[in-house]
Structure 1
């Protein structure tokens, strides 16, 4: 209605302008687009609902079919850089992508039967012991090395002379390596490695080379002799650790900072000095005199104590394997010939799997602690922050299932005693070894191995026999295998039911057969 007519006026209604027409058209287009968008949203929601229903149905189906559920769970989604590659190709990949401590050298095992013991035994005891073990030290020679990260974290750092002073009075009155080794042998350790000289430079024997040893500070007491004798008595192979760097030698002219800085250097008093200062880098030799002293000490170790089975260098090597072999024809050189990942930051399963596929021998050296400390030598934290028996044995099974050895560090107290928990763990390990030793000793170590390829369970192998560690739910699942001839509990020998389908095997360890230690399942395949 025209409102003007109500008051007696009559005016023409103007025609719509082009702008109004455009606005009207635009409004209609928006309405049409909105209808289309709502239609698309509706269809999408219907699609999502259908997917959700399908997923729910699949989930329900999997829940009703535990075998299919395990099959889904065990699909490998991580990168497998070893898959489909030759050992040479894996080596090339490893050299580019892995830490240098995961790189080894090819060893012709057939040409070195004298080294069979190393791979067969699989378990070594690492013994960091020396002046850094004694209070008030901080559990490692590295405590005397300054770093900005330590300063920021307010971690304890000692001046070198504070640590060196300990050796003036140190004389471990309760040193009893015979007791150490008796327990280790029962527990299944095949060898031990003692720090004959760590980075602090102190020698645990009366050396004729230098004055920083038990000959000058312990009335000639020979701690190495007692250790070697105890190891041999109890059937353990004898290993010696020796640090190439010697931070005591000419220490007033050595740098005590790591990592180095471009802006300053740090002297032995932890004073910042100019970068032009002539200080020997932390991990380097100060010159010919130091090198001559170190070579003389190594010759003593190689000639004064009878057969030495293993040399474990740290920092750098004083002699080549060939030079050592002239003194000890059968000696096995760990760091230098094999990969020696250090701690779990190097030793993750995917890393050492690559090392094994590359054809390199390897040994994981690791501290027996649950949460990080700087302690390779003894510190009070070691008394409570330590692995239990299950953790140690599980780690052993893991390493063996991936083709390597475990060298676990359990440091003696400064007075020469081993911690109480060490003997408790050794007793429990001895019991486990009575029934499950065959799962970890003298197993196959050459690639390919089933762990991470056929199964996510840690699984060792000997010929046509698998030894699998069930997961937390007691389940073992292995792909791409033939139907087994038998499945038993390695601990009891009892038969265990299994399901075999489409080349895959699923085993559930009954609750009645589970313990607090690794319950290995023995799977025998037809030859």
Structure 2
């Protein structure tokens, strides 16, 4: 084992100067516009198909020893192809990638002077981070690295218990050595591979992350730190549009790393819907893949990315460089607005398979036409349906009493069965908001057992209906595919802004999700989600 501590302390001392204490605004603006990235969870235990790293917490000494000593001897992922992953990401519309350079286990995917627990000391031997960075740059993708400051291998070497929720309850000198160790690793990652665009520090906020953030900004002032600095909801979306930049992290299945059997994957149509929702709410979606122990990407994940690529190729306008519309959605129809153009996109979710040549009508309550309004369907000319000369493919609209009525044909041939299961997108040029929406906020459940919300604005109404929605949260991983539909509690009538509350109903034990809502005509506007545990 190399003696890294003296070197690490010196690097830590040299890195105390802080040039900036936060992300640069232009870097956060870049993420808001980029909007879509690929997450890659992959480490030495992908050979086993287990949850990444976490099997070490509470493990026996025999398991721990074999994990650290034996697993590296068989790690030889000759099928790993970061060039292929980057190509898929590019086609799917992703603008950046984030690789687990080091997860909680401490296994490093680069050549490091800090530890022998790294890919250099496996049959594979090559520096995988270097290969990954090269692939990102080849396809014009921003380079992101996930880094876990918590390091189970380091703790084990120090004779400490492997645990989560590190609180730094050790002597100050030991904490300083720990900080120096992770700083030495970050120094390598930021110095050896050219510009690193994004850093993702996993784990709960603690003394390690507090030390690393200013240190990294002192080395690379323009590096964007996501987790550890901005809101990064995991396995769920923020739920509301936000003026602040945020990034949702989502798996295709139920596990971050490769799971060999009994995995349940989201269909591509649901992944596309999640992307639409994220962009409508002003966030970025970091969608995860998990290569297996040989480096091969699971069939289902690659096929999902390919279907996503087809959808993005047609509808990229509705995803790239957009911002929220005053109303984010009407049911399964989600809105985005081109940032610098007078253009709104209605992403028509919840339509099922839409046969080619079929016309459908929609009443959009949140959009009103102007004298200059034009509409079209992204990806098609609206002039011809193949083999159907009798079908008029023209997109039409007319002003409605409340909004705009649109009538469109799905004309483009995408699949040979002439059906398309994914959202069609209507482009609406030169339109305006149909109304000023009310605003609502969900507050944490009160200590006295009341659901709480706050009506922030009535919009252009004199009074509104407001209340609460709830659903039971599935046990285990917060898998969005397992959620039940939202149910409404009785709403009340409000003619002024302010807080309101409702006593908790007589619910059975479980973990519930709660959100406040307010109704404007036919549209329900929801606040962010809070959780409630009933023992």
1:290-439 equivalence runs, <5 A? 290-315=178-203, 316=205, 317=209, 319-344=211-236, 347=237, 351-353=238-240, 356-357=241-242, 359-369=243-253, 373=254, 375-381=255-261, 385-439=264-318
What is the distance in 1 between the residues matched to 2:146 and 2:93?
Answer: 21
Deviation at 1:488, TM superposition (A): 1.7
Call closer, same or farther: CA 1:161–1:476 in 2, change over 3 Å. farther
Q: Check whether the contact 2:100–2:147 (CA below 8 A) recurs between aligned residues.
A: yes
Q: State the match for 2:57 in structure 1.
A: 145
Deviation readout 1:380-411 (Å, 9 max, x if unpaired): 148x6223332222211110001001001111
Higher helix share: 1
1:44-55 equivalence runs, <5 A? none
Deviation at 1:116, TM superposition (A): 4.1
* SS state at 2:264 partner: coil
What is the distance in 1 between the residues matched to 2:260 and 2:192?
Answer: 34
Q: Check whether the contact 2:145–2:199 (CA below 8 A) recurs between aligned residues.
A: yes
Call closer, same or farther: CA 1:397–1:197 in 2, change over 3 Å. same
Match of 2:396 among 483, 497, 507: 497
Greater Cα radius of gyration, structure 1 or 2: 1
Where does structure 2 lack aligned partners over 5 or more consecutive residues? Answer: 1-20, 352-359, 383-393, 413-418, 433-535
Higher strand share: 2
Match of 1:449 among 322, 326, 346: 326
Q: State the match for 1:249 in structure 2.
A: 154
The TM-score normalised by the length of structure 2 is 0.63
Call closer, same or farther: CA 1:511–1:237 in 2, change over 3 Å. closer
Q: State the match for 1:506 in structure 2.
A: 405
Q: Does 1:160 align with 2:44?
A: no
Where does structure 1 lack aligned partners over 5 or more consecutive residues? Answer: 1-105, 148-155, 261-278
What is the distance in 2 between the residues matched to 1:438 and 1:220?
Answer: 42
Call closer, same or farther: CA 1:482–1:140 in 2, change over 3 Å. same
What is the distance in 2 between the residues matched to 1:431 and 1:487?
Answer: 22
1:36-185 equivalence runs, <5 A? 112-135=25-48, 137-146=49-58, 159-164=63-68, 165-185=70-90
Deviation at 1:286, TM superposition (A): 6.0
Q: Does 1:468 align with 2:346?
A: yes
Q: State the match for 2:110 in structure 1.
A: 205
What is the distance in 2 between the residues matched to 1:227 and 1:352?
Answer: 33
Deviation readout 1:349-370 (Å, 9 max, x if unpaired): xx431xx43x21111001112x
What is the distance in 2 between the residues matched to 1:456 and 1:516?
Answer: 14
Deviation readout 1:188-208 (Å, 9 max, x if unpaired): 111100000000011111111
Call closer, same or farther: CA 1:120–1:335 in 2, change over 3 Å. same
What is the distance in 2 between the residues matched to 1:178 and 1:123?
Answer: 18
The count of corresponding residues between Structure 1 and Structure 2 is 376
Deviation at 1:482, TM superposition (A): 2.5
Deviation readout 1:87-140 (Å, 9 max, x if unpaired): xxxxxxxxxxxxxxxxxxx989xx6435543222211100000012112x4132
Q: Does 1:519 align with 2:419?
A: no
What is the distance in 2 between the residues matched to 1:400 and 1:520?
Answer: 14
Call closer, same or farther: CA 1:471–1:310 in 2, change over 3 Å. closer
What is the distance in 2 between the residues matched to 1:421 and 1:427?
Answer: 10
What is the distance in 2 between the residues matched to 1:502 and 1:395?
Answer: 31
Deviation readout 1:54-91 (Å, 9 max, x if unpaired): xxxxxxxxxxxxxxxxxxxxxxxxxxxxxxxxxxxxxx
Q: Report the aligned-residue RMSD.
A: 3.3
* SS state at 1:249 partner: helix
Deviation readout 1:394-445 (Å, 9 max, x if unpaired): 2111100010010011111111122233333333333323321000001125
